[in-house]
């Protein structure tokens, strides 16, 4: 606790020091004569426009969000800082019907909720075919590849044929032909 108190005192001192130095600088600026030429008119730079916060909430993740045609990210998104005014927000995701809305954003900010609905005509590939790199990386999806099972099946067939040939060629105990007795 004493350490925290000491830190608070130190922080307060620093703040006071900064305030004092700022005040002394302003005083000095006011007392000093102007250094500019007599005929020049000083123009102050325009103040930056105030920004407004816009929160875009989408009911599905990984939906692409565009504001005024520019991609700003994928859902879920952190609140965006936009200049007040009219904006068009559009949200798209594969397998869902796109959503688009226009709003007038003022300095107090706004929130936009999108509830995308499934697109029955173009359903998303929820069970995608694994790629070659999945197999190379030992992904469990490898067993879904048709050629894996074709290879296994081929090996089984070849093995069965070899066993059959070996057995029929006398590799095991063969039967010795006994001809008929002629009357």
Partner 1 sequence: MTRARLFRPRPLRRALFTLGLVGLCLPALSCSSGGAEPFILRLIADDGSVPSGPRNAIILNAVGRVQVVIAPDRSSGNHFDALAPRLFDGGDVETRVSAAGEWVITLERPYIEAHAFDHGTTFALEIPLAIQNTTDDPAVHDPLMRVTFQRMGEIIASTERNVNWPLLPGDALDVVVFCPDATRFQCLNTPPP
166 vs 173: CA distance, rounded Å? 11
Residue 181 contacts partner 1 per CB under 8 A: yes
Please give the DSSP secondary-structure letter assigned to residue 115: -
Residue 163 contacts partner 1 per CB under 8 A: yes
Compute the half-sphere exposure of residue 154: CA atoms within 13 Å on the CB side of its CA: 6
Residue 41 contacts partner 1 per CB under 8 A: no
Residue 125 contacts partner 1 per CB under 8 A: no
In the bound state with partner 1, the residue whose beta carbon lies nearer, of 25 and 160, is 160
- β-strands 70-74, 80-82 pairing: unpaired
108 vs 134: CA distance, rounded Å? 48
Site for partner 1 in 132-151 (CB under 8 A): 144, 146, 149-150
**Is the distance from CB of 67 to CB of 80 less than 8 angstroms?**
yes
In the bound state with partner 1, the residue whose beta carbon lies nearer, of 40 and 181, is 181
Binding site for partner 1 (CB under 8 A): 144, 146, 149-150, 153, 156-157, 160-161, 163-165, 167-168, 170, 173-183
């Amino acid at each position: 606790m004493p350490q925290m108190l000491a830190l608070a005192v130190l922080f307060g001192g620093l703040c006071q020091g900064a305030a004092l130095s700022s005040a002394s600088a302003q005083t000095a600026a006011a007392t000093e004569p102007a250094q500019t030429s007599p005929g020049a008119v000083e123009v102050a730079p325009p103040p930056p426009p105030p920004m407004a916060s816009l929160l875009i909430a989408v009911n599905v993740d990984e939906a692409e969000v565009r504001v005024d045609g520019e991609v700003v990210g994928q859902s879920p998104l952190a609140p965006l800082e936009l200049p007040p005014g009219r904006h068009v927000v559009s949200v798209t995701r594969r397998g869902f019907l796109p959503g688009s809305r226009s709003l007038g954003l003022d300095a107090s900010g706004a929130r936009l909720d999108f509830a995308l609905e499934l697109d029955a005509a173009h359903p998303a590939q929820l069970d995608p075919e694994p790629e070659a790199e999945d197999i190379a990386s030992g992904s469990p999806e490898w067993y879904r590849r048709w050629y894996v099972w074709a290879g296994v099946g081929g090996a089984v067939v070849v093995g069965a044929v070899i066993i059959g040939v070996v057995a029929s060629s006398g590799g095991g105990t063969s039967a010795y032909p006994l001809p008929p007795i002629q009357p």
